[in-house]
């Protein structure tokens, strides 16, 4: 090979700019062409069908919901609303009962549309985008996926109306099942055991109670600074069947189905929702064992007592974490000895020998005060939870010993959408969005077709 002098570098070709095709894909153009051509025709066809329903609705005079008497004709002012292919119109008859101050427009009720608003499947698709992406991004997705031009605020409004409907429904359902006269799903196929877990985190909240409004040409006043400590607890509850746990690859487990509930609020509320979901699924009868996996937080065990047949399990990894705290202190950070020591405890606990572990811990004679305190707190933690640490039995019964499924579910419900950088929530905004995410993640999205969107001022 010929040698080159370092001072004479090889001649270098200028870099080639990557080339774009001169035209968009021909097929893409064809698709768009057909869409543009047929959109007005679809809108017309839809309007014709709406007109037929309007004709049918004319025949019925509604009764006053208050007094039960037939209401009287008031007017038939035309209204419009926005759907995927464009704006639709109708002249719904407005009926009134003056003494009761009641008003009805039966056609609008029948169609499930709201004058002047985005309605129908377009509204539901926008709600879907808002459930998975921040509002700005959802608006951009709406443009790319649906060919709809809408502002982030527009997406936000739709999400609020749909989310409120979903949130009210799930709240009402949990209130319904809290009443002993409620009727749950058939428990004929109630499983022998259900695993129940709860996880939580905090959301950053907005401090302002009212949205800022622009008055005249004045610019909006700046947002107040978020103070530390302005947070709200959000909890996720998970239900799954131990029999549906599968080992997808050695050591990797996943579940076929799981059902989620969520709420912004206290411990009682999340347990009320879990109970309602159990009833909806027909998953709890007189013999069902409710397996509750917890991290040791007292509030979970306190509420768990509502289930007569229950099996309380202290999350295995939390149990080990406590051993680690002592081991690090005793043997030093990153020491192989600490590693071996915890490993041995893990094996013993897995084998169901929690009493032996406690006895062995009690025989230790640590030298420093700090070590003695740490050891004592470990011994107390294991002693208090010993009845929840029969891991050999839980494994034999197939209940599992960790709360990993619960933690990952919580991250999916909350973190993936509501805990992105800089996000702040209003109480109502968070509640509505969580309700939409739950429908999506529980495979219940179709339920939205049967919920009337809530009109919000
Ligand atoms: Zn009346």
| pLDDT tens digit sequence for 349-363 | 999 999 999 999 999
For residue 354, what are the contacts with CB-CB under 8 A and spacing of at least 6?
348, 382, 386, 389, 390, 391
Tell me the CB-side half-sphere exposure of residue 199, using CA atoms within 13 A.
18
Specify the pLDDT at position 248: 74
Specify the pLDDT at position 208: 58
- For residue 210, the CA-to-ligand 1 centroid distance in Å is 36
Q: Name the residues around ion ligand 1, CB cutoff 5 A.
A: 64, 66-67, 97, 100
Determine what percent of the chain is predicted with pLDDT higher than 90.
70
- For residue 70, the CA-to-ligand 1 centroid distance in Å is 8
Specify the pLDDT at position 421: 81
Among 17-26, 240-249, 308-317, 381-390, the range scoring the smallest mean pLDDT is 240-249
Tell me the CB-side half-sphere exposure of residue 372, using CA atoms within 13 A.
4
- For residue 428, the CA-to-ligand 1 centroid distance in Å is 33
- For residue 144, the CA-to-ligand 1 centroid distance in Å is 48
Specify the pLDDT at position 59: 84
CA distances 348 to 75, 329, 359, 364, 447, Å, are 79, 21, 12, 17, 48
In the sheet where 259-264 sits, what is the strand order? 259-264, 231-240, 193-204, 289-294, 310-314
- For residue 105, the CA-to-ligand 1 centroid distance in Å is 15
- For residue 63, the CA-to-ligand 1 centroid distance in Å is 8
Q: How confident is the model at residue 347 (pLDDT cuts 50, 70, 90)?
A: very high
Q: State the burial class of residue 274 (Cβ atoms within 10 Å of its Cβ: 0-12, 13-18, 19+).
A: buried
> In the predicted model, what is the mean pLDDT of residues 20-34?
94
Mind listing the pLDDT tens digit for each residue in 65-110? 999 999 999 999 999 999 999 999 999 999 999 999 999 999 999 9
- For residue 452, the CA-to-ligand 1 centroid distance in Å is 23
Yes or no: say if 264 and 170 are a contact pair by the CB < 8 Å rule. no
- For residue 456, the CA-to-ligand 1 centroid distance in Å is 25
> In the predicted model, what is the mean pLDDT of residues 2-30?
82
- For residue 67, the CA-to-ligand 1 centroid distance in Å is 4
Helix (H, G, I), strand (E, B) or coil at 119: coil
Tell me how far apart the alpha carbons of residues 196 and 277 are, in angstroms, rounded to a whole number: 11
Mind listing the pLDDT tens digit for each residue in 285-327? 889 999 999 887 888 999 999 999 999 999 999 999 999 999 9
Mind listing the pLDDT tens digit for each residue in 190-234? 999 999 999 888 888 887 555 555 556 666 555 555 555 588 889
- For residue 161, the CA-to-ligand 1 centroid distance in Å is 28
- For residue 71, the CA-to-ligand 1 centroid distance in Å is 7
Q: Tell whether the model's pLDDT for residue 259 goes beyond 90.
A: yes
Strands 231-240 and 259-264: antiparallel
> In the predicted model, what is the mean pLDDT of residues 223-252?
76
Specify the pLDDT at position 143: 96
Q: How many other CB atoms sit within 10 Å of the CB of residue 177?
A: 19
Tell me how far apart the alpha carbons of residues 188 and 429 are, in angstroms, rounded to a whole number: 39
- For residue 453, the CA-to-ligand 1 centroid distance in Å is 25
Q: Tell whether the model's pLDDT for residue 254 goes beyond 90.
A: no
Specify the pLDDT at position 86: 95
Look at the block and give the residue holding tokens 């509505």: 432
- Both tokens assigned to 94: 């407005």
- For residue 95, the CA-to-ligand 1 centroid distance in Å is 11
- For residue 58, the CA-to-ligand 1 centroid distance in Å is 20
Determine what percent of the chain is predicted with pLDDT higher than 70.
93
Q: Tell whether the model's pLDDT for residue 50 goes beyond 90.
A: yes
Tell me how far apart the alpha carbons of residues 455 and 206 are, in angstroms, rounded to a whole number: 23
- For residue 68, the CA-to-ligand 1 centroid distance in Å is 6
> In the predicted model, what is the mean pLDDT of residues 139-160?
96
DSSP category for residue 416? H
- For residue 65, the CA-to-ligand 1 centroid distance in Å is 7
């Amino acid at each position: 090979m010929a040698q080159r002098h370092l001072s004479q570098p090889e001649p270098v070709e200028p870099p080639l700019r990557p080339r774009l095709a001169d035209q968009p894909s021909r097929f893409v153009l064809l698709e768009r062409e057909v869409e543009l051509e047929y959109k007005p025709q679809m809108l017309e066809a839809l309007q014709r069908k709406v007109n037929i329903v309007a004709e049918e609705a004319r025949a019925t005079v509604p009764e006053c919901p208050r007094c039960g008497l037939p209401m009287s004709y008031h007017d038939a002012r035309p209204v419009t609303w926005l759907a995927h292919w464009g704006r639709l119109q109708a002249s719904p008859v407005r009926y009134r009962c003056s003494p009761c101050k009641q008003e009805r427009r039966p056609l609008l009720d029948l169609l499930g549309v709201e004058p002047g608003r985005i309605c129908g499947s377009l509204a539901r698709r926008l709600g879907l985008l808002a459930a998975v992406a921040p509002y700005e991004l959802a608006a951009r997705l709406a443009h790319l996926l649906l060919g709809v031009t809408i502002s982030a605020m527009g997406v936000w409004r739709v999400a609020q109306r749909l989310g409120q409907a979903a949130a009210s429904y799930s709240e009402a359902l949990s209130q319904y099942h809290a009443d002993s006269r409620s009727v749950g799903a058939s428990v004929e196929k109630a499983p022998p055991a259900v695993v129940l877990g709860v996880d939580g985190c905090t959301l950053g909240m907005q401090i302002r109670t009212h949205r800022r409004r622009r008055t005249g040409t004045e610019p909006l006043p700046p947002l107040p600074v978020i103070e530390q400590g302005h947070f709200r607890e959000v909890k996720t509850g998970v239900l799954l069947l131990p029999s549906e746990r599968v080992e997808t690859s050695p050591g990797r487990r996943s579940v076929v189905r799981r059902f989620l509930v969520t709420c912004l609020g206290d411990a009682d509320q999340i347990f009320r929702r879990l109970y309602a979901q159990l009833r909806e699924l027909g998953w709890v009868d007189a013999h069902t064992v409710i397996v509750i996996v917890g991290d040791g937080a007292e509030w979970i065990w306190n509420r768990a007592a509502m289930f007569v047949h229950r099996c309380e399990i202290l999350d295995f990894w939390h149990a080990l974490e406590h051993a680690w705290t002592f081991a690090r202190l005793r043997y030093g950070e990153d020491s192989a000895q600490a590693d071996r020591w915890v490993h041995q405890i893990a094996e013993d606990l897995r084998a169901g020998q929690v009493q032996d572990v406690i006895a062995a811990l009690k025989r230790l004679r640590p030298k420093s005060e700090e070590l003695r305190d740490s050891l004592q707190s470990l011994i107390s933690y294991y002693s208090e939870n010993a009845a929840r640490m029969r891991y050999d039995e839980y494994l034999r019964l197939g209940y599992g010993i960790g709360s990993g499924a619960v933690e990952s579910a919580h991250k999916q419900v909350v973190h993936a959408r509501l805990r992105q950088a800089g996000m702040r929530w209003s109480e109502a905004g968070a509640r509505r969005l969580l309700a939409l995410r739950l429908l999506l993640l529980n495979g219940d999205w179709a339920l939205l077709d049967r919920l009337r969107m809530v009109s919000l001022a």
